[in-house]
Structure 1
Amino acid sequence: MSKLMFDYTKSVLERVSFHPILFCKELEKAIKALLPYELEQLKEWLLDYTVEKPELKPYLVIVNR
């Protein structure tokens, strides 16, 4: 079940990545919904994903709170 939630979260973040504010809102939702080990996976994925999308990098601070 949790793998499904993690995959769903990545899918949503990819779909809203064109709009930084939406991306931020969905990232905040993900932080509330995912388990601690999934958050670590999400951090790793985000670091890799935002290499090509530097406009999203400032929002990674949310994950590290």
Structure 2
Amino acid sequence: MLEYAKTILTKVSFDKILFEKELRKALRMLGAEELHQLKTWCYQKFARIYQNILNRVFAQFSPAI
């Protein structure tokens, strides 16, 4: 599921609303270790353009990560 989430996020990264929606969906379907891996990957790949979205979404899921 992690690779699937990465694929979807990459494909929707042109639209910030869609990106946030898909990121939230991904966080709901992944296990704890995968969440940590996704967080690391997202910040490496998207922090330059979606820093605020990443901070907001991952802060809401921080107890699980």
Q: TM-score range by the shorter chain?
A: 0.7 to 0.9
Q: 2-side partners of 1:47 and 1:10: how far apart?
A: 12
Give RMSD over aligned pairs. 1.0
Q: 1-side partners of 2:58 and 2:29: how far apart?
A: 12
- Residue 64 of structure 1, CA deviation: 2.5
Stretches (4+) displaced over 6 A: none
Deviations 1:7-63 (A, max 9, x none): 000000000000000000000101100001100001100111014xx3311111202
* 2:35 aligned with 1:36: no
Residue in 2 aligned with 1:63?
Answer: 58
